[in-house]
Structure 1
Amino acid sequence: MSESLEERVLTGLDEEQRTVATTLTGPLCVLAGAGTGKTRAITHRIAYGVLGGSYNPQRLLAVTFTARAAAEMRTRLRDLGVGSVQARTFHAAALRQLQFFWPQAIGGALPALLDHKAALIAESARRLRLSTDRAAVRDLAAEIEWAKVSMFTPDSYPQHAAERGTPGGFDTTTMARIFRSYEDLKTDRNLIDFEDVLLLTVGILQEDQRVAATVREQYRHFVVDEYQDVSPLQQRLLELWLGEREELCVVGDSSQTIYSFTGANSKHLLEFGKRFPKAQVVKLVRDYRSTPQVVQLANSLLAARRPSGRAADAAWAQPLQLLAQRPAGPEPAFLESSDDEAEAAAVAARIKSLVDSGTPAAQIAVLFRTNGQSEAYEQALSAAGVGYQLRGGERFFARKEVRDAILSLRAASRADGTHDQEAAPGLSQQVRDVLGSLGYTDDPPASSGAVRERWESLSALVSLADELVRSRKPVAEGPDFGLVDFVAELQERSQAQHAPTVQGVTLASLHSAKGLEWDAVFLVGLSEGLMPISFADTAEGVDEERRLLYVGITRAREFLHLSWSLSRTPGGRAHRKPSRFLDGLRPGSTAAAPRSGSFRSAAKLSRKPPATCRVCGNALANGAERKIGRCGNCPASYDEQTFEALRNWRLEEARTAQIPAFMIFTDATLVAIAEAKPGSLAELAQVAGIGPSKLERYGAAVLNLLPAP
């Protein structure tokens, strides 16, 4: 007796997931908490609709935000028997449409796609006779990307960016000039960047009704995953795909909005009911990932948030209250260490204990706020004899060693076809032999950094070969899975950005851990200034840091370990404090007192008299002048050598922490420090632009750079 459609597709879904899967007409909004099976629910919805005849698989488009998530969705759809449904990122879907419609809508060939902005941005700055370093170029690239996904032009950028700091150390007017120069260079060289892919697709759909009608005829139903991360530009593209129709299913969780600095905005998820008054809303709150102890800590973290002012409170949505479905597990562990080195050693010791007790290293993660924190854990894990992998950097298949390895494997596969197959070694040994010529060894190197990363990449390819040999059962009278097949598999994975799993403890930033999960998670460096990060100086910024920690907590299935240190270096002064987010959560602590009003409104209550120039006595005209305490036209009184030492130090700090240089100190603050010549932390604290968190994090290093009084 054959299974019914309901038995094939709906078996195993809970009540809310089943509601999602059987609600085949839109609009539908799924509010899905961490670990509640949202991908399962929406892929089963697609399968139920396609297999039941409600959806044409060629006329449904599922979009998400990362190639990895899209690949995961395609795999699940294929397993459900509906592999012909398209699951793509916004950029991939838009690029495909742009390539198809460009000749008829614009004419000629589509401009070449620019992989990286850095070279053109640096050239744009040089044309304007502006000096930039690598950190500044990175800041400028991020700012241009934010402006474009927010749909601002070089002309409209200044009025919308007044409160975004000074990217690259440049004011908004100069930033707009660099933005304009960059756009002109792209036009001159017939290039487009990734944001242009979306902008040009939007432009064609807006201007050419024939193209818009064709796209709307092609796609009748849309599913959007991670809808809280949609940018204004992506939202506009989605609206143009839809037209006047309402066949849209969106899935998201406002408590996991952690990418606002890139232009992501959860208001589209929160206001879905206003756009579609007849929308059905389904909440997924049953957490199948984490133990009740982990779920309770995550719920408590969000519930501890207190009113912070009208703007911040309006942007903060009521969190979903997760309900744990797994059996009880160990209580989350909290650890305070004397310094960063001791914290890393303690974490490595605990990880080794877990591995020795049977927890696979690949099911353990160490998560931190900034990538610059990874070095201590690389060294500690190496000393403990535990393998690890770094996540969140360059894409796996874009790494030079991976590209070189695939070229060598492809060359070897051609030669392999000319030899006696019976005499050839198995796939695993062949891959080891080929990659051995590139430096692969069975044992990991003792060193960390680039050497270790290169070995991890090659080791991942070897592990993939071993895995494929085990999983591909030989067919009677047929050839074994060989080197030619392995190279084809790598090519397919490269196109889908489906990186192999590395057997080792994962070291990753909290941002890059989004969408992943492990049996054991170690959240490290949870001290004020790192969590929340020091430059989160608004109520909205602190709220996003709280959500970021929530994402970190909810990555853990069973073991959760939270730690912080009191000093940066061994023997240093113990001036650090545990993160305010841990107040009321860690043993022996009490909940933080409620705060009233926003950061900005509190500042307005303590207005100071107008500042005047210490040289000429005239009123200071802008923030930069007030920061350094003199008019821009009045002569400087600082030593150039000291100022350059401060700039060089800031650059190295920014590279280590992988944050924009201006987020440490702006040029104006460095000038103010060089002119004030503070001789103590108390005097340094009087310099405008140096708050308590920055004083704590950078004060000692800055004083060491200044000449003795």
Structure 2
Amino acid sequence: MQNPEDILAGLDTEQRQAATALHGPVRILAGAGTGKTRAITHRIAYGVATGVYNPYNVLAVTFTARAAAEMRSRLRDLGAHGVQAKTFHAAALSQLQYFWQQAVGGDMPRLVDYKTHLIVEAAQRLRMSTDKATIRDLAGEIEWAKFNMLTPQTYQQQATHRSMPASWDLIAVTRLFQAYEDLKSDRGLIDFEDVLLIMVGILESEPRIAATVRNQYRVFLVDEFQDVSPLQYRLLSGWLGDRDDLCVVGDTSQTIYAFTGATADYLLDFGQKFPDATQIDLIRDYRSTPQIVGLANRLLQERTKVDRPGLPRWPQPLELVSQREAGPDPIFAECSHEQAEAEWVTGQIKQLLAAGHKGADMAILFRTNAQSAAFEQTLSDAGVSYQVRGAERFFNRREVRDGILQLRAAAKSADAVVGAEVISRVKDVLASLGYTPQAPQQSGAVRERWESLNAIVNLAEDLVASRGQQVTLDVVVAELDERASHQHAPVMEGVTLASIHSAKGLEWDSVFLVGLTEGLMPISFATEDKNVDEERRLFYVGITRAKTRVFLSWSLARSAGGRANRKPSRFLQAIRSTTTHAASESTPRTKRTLKAKVSKCRTCGAVLTTGAERKIGRCEDCPPTYDPELFDRLVSWRKEISTADKVPAFVVFTDATLVAIAEKMPADFKQLRQLPGVGPKKLERYGEDVLAILSS
């Protein structure tokens, strides 16, 4: 166990105050990047080291498996072994499994991982048509109802103000909700919200069980308290009983999950519930540069200035103070159309990569997942590795499950394989599932499968780097199993593409916030003031993910040559207006607005509307300007390569790229690299062959 004073070393004044406030109630308001995880883990560790806390009586609760895993890791490093750090669902499920026989009896119902298949079946029973988007919306609506502890009957009474999914009304959603609940009951199933609801019922109706739980857990810490729903707060109250040894941590400016039932009221009103509570503010931002912090502060200050009666509750936000050296000014880019925006962002990323920055240190963040496709394609064309976050859970992916199974089988006969040899063996095993040393150039499922397998390889490399000859295949499999049990996915290489919602709690050195137009930021269905406020907070979360560089872009039209009728987001007005004036060192001093050019046909001058046309530089209807025999030789060469590598021909080069090569006739590697679709890996692999064909 560490020396208590050593645990406090390195904390700033406010963090130290938080770490030494060992008796509840305590409220910590912690702004983005202010080291809240550091403060709260040191608080627990300090309490354990001083003997104030028995580690087995402490329960730290957060909202994501990743955050819980990070907390457990830090607590272990600080010597606070035995402390439980879990999500609300994991903690409640563990208790429900333990007490089921005593409280209910019989076999516990099976847990439903995903609602979607039951919702589809419920809709079919009611002869209601659905699509994928509507199913997601309906699942979200059911979750909102249950997080607010509503039954189908009370939902219809309480949800009259809610916006229903497209083509559905309140009565139809209520009927579907009831049909979904009936299906679960008929088949002996419960969902994640049921776990919390049932555990609340047990704690409130079984005094002996409640006493057992309260005797086990005497000290509580809840992270991200602004995201607590009424159901989660009621469960927390059941755990606490009449005690007050509770520490809550949160930031009202990062409340972005109201659509799931989350409310910041419990954080804001904590002092009313506990009048003697210790209250601490963390405002020193260690993550972002003064330029980025200034940008984020102004975004919130604009709303604070216009606060007036009739508007929703808007608490005074924390004004962060950056602790870092000055960095680059934020860059604002206005592009002519969506494809031009994607190409501009990709161009900026390529410049950063060429300067030595890692792709894993960059992220493209957007409001809706549908915006991802254009950026995936341009990154693929440029040969830039990327990963899409927020899709299917990592350890639920088929290729990951199959990979773990095959590695487990291989480990039985690989006792002598240790250290660096383990990495080679992992690659060999995963090759049968589609792993290759080089990333595939196409986007979509093939790319996502490769990224998953590559993440396993990276994990093996990290283990060997940290443990050396102690690593065997069994060690790799054990690490994967441990992570799978907590849904703690390994870090994946490449630029991250993610919605802002799924980026919450993460950070990158360079962040690209894209599609910043009215209708997307704020989203079109944010018609009420409270919804617009939440969209502003979402934009704030996006900005504060950046450590050193932030790029903000939008497009005026959907496609090239289309009507430029889009307007920049209203949220940009305040954060752009001050950039044209002299400013302090914590704010940008110059405005940098870039505009992408419309691509035109070099033959007829018409605007090029498709990616293939822009790649070859002319309309598809205009006559080609290349030598047909040369093009045929390139096609024949591509076929030989694709046959030998056992991949589709377009994986080598697309037709549009071959046409561009034949028409541009690059004379060297530099000229060839400038062509769309020729990334660095393809240049290295195929460059000499292509130049040889051209020179002949």
Which interval holds the TM-score relative to the shorter structure?
0.7 to 0.9
C-alpha distance after superposition, 1:447-479 (max 9, x if no partner) = 1011111111111111111111111133xxxxx
SS of 1:31's equivalent in the other structure is strand
Cα drift, residue 589 of structure 1: 8.2
**Equivalents in 1 of 2:31, 2:337: separation in Å?**
35
C-alpha distance after superposition, 1:79-114 (max 9, x if no partner) = 000131000000000001001111011111211111
Q: Is 1:467 matched up with 2:465?
A: no
SS of 1:415's equivalent in the other structure is coil
SS of 1:244's equivalent in the other structure is coil
C-alpha distance after superposition, 1:33-56 (max 9, x if no partner) = 000000000000000001100001
Cα RMSD for the two superposed structures: 1.7
1:471 maps to amino acid? S
Cα drift, residue 130 of structure 1: 2.5
SS of 1:336's equivalent in the other structure is strand
Which of 452, 457, 462 is matched with 1:457 structurally? 452
Check whether the contact 2:147–2:261 (CA below 8 A) recurs between aligned residues: yes
SS of 1:366's equivalent in the other structure is strand
Structure 1 counterpart of 2:108: 110
Structure 1 counterpart of 2:196: 198
Check whether the contact 1:291–1:557 (CA below 8 A) recurs between aligned residues: yes
Check whether the contact 1:309–1:539 (CA below 8 A) recurs between aligned residues: no
C-alpha distance after superposition, 1:580-606 (max 9, x if no partner) = 101032258899xxxxxxxxxxxxxxx
Structure 2 counterpart of 1:692: none
Cα drift, residue 308 of structure 1: 6.1
1:530 maps to amino acid? L
Count matched residues: 580
Which of 433, 445, 456 is matched with 2:440 structurally? 445
1:570 maps to amino acid? A
Structure 1 counterpart of 2:681: none
Cα drift, residue 421 of structure 1: 4.9
Cα drift, residue 122 of structure 1: 2.0
Which of 539, 547, 561 is matched with 1:549 structurally? 539
Which of 174, 185, 191 is matched with 1:176 structurally? 174
Structure 2 counterpart of 1:500: 490
Cα drift, residue 178 of structure 1: 1.6
Check whether the contact 1:27–1:278 (CA below 8 A) recurs between aligned residues: yes
Q: Is 1:312 matched up with 2:302?
A: no
TM-score of the pair, normalised by structure 2: 0.81
2:256 maps to amino acid? I
Change (3 A) 1:5 1:135: closer
Cα drift, residue 336 of structure 1: 0.7
Which of 164, 172, 185 is matched with 1:166 structurally? 164
**Equivalents in 1 of 2:384, 2:511: separation in Å?**
15
TM-score of the pair, normalised by structure 1: 0.80
Change (3 A) 1:504 1:493: same
Residue segments in structure 1 that go unaligned for 5+ positions in a row = 475-479, 592-709
Check whether the contact 2:420–2:468 (CA below 8 A) recurs between aligned residues: no
Cα drift, residue 360 of structure 1: 1.1
Which of 577, 586, 594 is matched with 2:576 structurally? 586
Which of 251, 263, 266 is matched with 2:264 structurally? 266
Check whether the contact 1:27–1:279 (CA below 8 A) recurs between aligned residues: yes
C-alpha distance after superposition, 1:361-383 (max 9, x if no partner) = 11011111111111111112122
C-alpha distance after superposition, 1:543-593 (max 9, x if no partner) = 1111001001101110111111111101111111111101032258899xx
Structure 1 counterpart of 2:653: none
C-alpha distance after superposition, 1:609-634 (max 9, x if no partner) = xxxxxxxxxxxxxxxxxxxxxxxxxx
**Equivalents in 2 of 1:577, 1:21: separation in Å?**
47
**Equivalents in 1 of 2:4, 2:573: separation in Å?**
50
Check whether the contact 1:583–1:589 (CA below 8 A) recurs between aligned residues: no
SS of 1:559's equivalent in the other structure is strand
1:556 maps to amino acid? A
1:426 maps to amino acid? E
Structure 1 counterpart of 2:561: 571
Check whether the contact 2:228–2:262 (CA below 8 A) recurs between aligned residues: yes
Structure 1 counterpart of 2:379: 381
**Equivalents in 2 of 1:564, 1:535: separation in Å?**
19
Structure 1 counterpart of 2:635: none
**Equivalents in 1 of 2:122, 2:74: separation in Å?**
45
Check whether the contact 2:89–2:192 (CA below 8 A) recurs between aligned residues: yes
Structure 2 counterpart of 1:91: 89
Structure 1 counterpart of 2:21: 23
Cα drift, residue 170 of structure 1: 2.4
Structure 2 counterpart of 1:650: none
Q: Is 1:428 matched up with 2:420?
A: no
C-alpha distance after superposition, 1:364-419 (max 9, x if no partner) = 111111111111111121222211111011111111111111111111112324xx
Structure 2 counterpart of 1:531: 521
Change (3 A) 1:135 1:524: closer
Structure 2 counterpart of 1:252: 250
Q: Is 1:484 matched up with 2:479?
A: no
C-alpha distance after superposition, 1:145-198 (max 9, x if no partner) = 110011011110012111212235322222222211211221111111000000
